[in-house]
Structure 1
């Protein structure tokens, strides 16, 4: 399996959700407590811009990692930023080259893409839940993300406020894999918007 293909597909799954966001929903709350829909979209675009720059140059400044702009077309901004990621990783022979991913450290480019794929699948759920649309990602993408999520330590030293992930939330062992993934990354699969 080529992680680049899986990542492109995950980016497209997220893109399908992004395309359904209506302007009046931009200020809706999301399961990410610090972000509205607009804030989450800006985060997604910023992450794509930063990851693409880091993939091409080995690292990127904090300013680059936070430089995503939505303008008056958030879906278009996301689509362009996602294409930048695909283009930056197109050179297949360089997947073992190190890339610095924000404050998380340096990883082989294939691992950075695996984290990106996980981010796409989980943030697509965040957006879908916020704007109240169905979300059923492909099983292989959930399985890959779940495998990675199980390897992320759940300790106060690397989870919680200020970190990429919250502490895990208990989910039944018999729950669907997507719910297990969400719980591992600190999301309540039963989250309901306070606007409902």
Structure 2
């Protein structure tokens, strides 16, 4: 893969991850389901939305090299706005270069962008399971998300509670392996 091809792929991966999650988080699909549980044990559907909006806002600030001033308050109704800003920020090839301030430390920009994909894909899986609907993430997204999850684990993600203990199943899809690696029970059903 040439450098130009790698940059082109990087600049579209966040947009593709947002596009995979977007159909699950419409007002119609979420109506009356805010208190439903998710496989991410700490979160109901609404709390997962609040968490993800905060993460995406942090990611947008990192990509723009803007100082972090605090979280986004709200639920899924703000997803399109926050996700649109995230996509716009990570669509710029410069966003993927150098280092960024991310979660209180200096990190490679590619790591921060990968974490955005991981959050969107893993929480997309969470939402699909909570709503009992399919989630379709393409293999490239899963690969980027898995790479970011492994990097995050190497930085101590399990130690500081970002991932529950891995629950690796004997045989499963790549998406289920990713979910299990981040501590989800892939047999979880709503």
TM-score, length basis structure 1? 0.82
Q: Distance in 1 between matches of 2:59 and 2:119?
A: 12
Q: Confirm whether residue 50 of structure 1 aligns to residue 41 of structure 2.
A: no
Q: Distance in 2 between matches of 1:93 and 1:147?
A: 21
Aligned to 2:94: 93
Q: Distance in 2 between matches of 1:106 and 1:39?
A: 28
Where structure 1 has 5 or more consecutive residues not aligned to the other structure, the ranges are: none
Aligned to 1:27: 35
- The runs of at least 4 consecutive aligned structure 1 residues that moved more than 6 Å come to none
| Alpha-carbon shift at residue 85 of structure 1 (Å) | 0.9
Q: Is the 8 A contact 2:132 2:189 kept in 1?
A: no
Aligned to 1:67: 72
Q: Distance in 2 between matches of 1:115 and 1:13?
A: 16
TM-align CA RMSD: 2.2
| Alpha-carbon shift at residue 146 of structure 1 (Å) | 2.3
Where structure 2 has 5 or more consecutive residues not aligned to the other structure, the ranges are: 1-5
Aligned to 1:186: 183
| Alpha-carbon shift at residue 86 of structure 1 (Å) | 1.8
Aligned to 2:47: 39
Of residues 25, 48, 69, the one that matches 1:18 is 25
Q: Which has the higher helix share?
A: 2
Aligned to 1:116: 116
Aligned pairs, number = 182
Aligned to 1:9: 16
Aligned to 2:174: 177
Q: Please give the per-residue CA displacement for 1:54-100, whole angstroms capped at 9, x wherever unaligned.
A: 32235414xx2x32323xxx34x101101111222343234223112
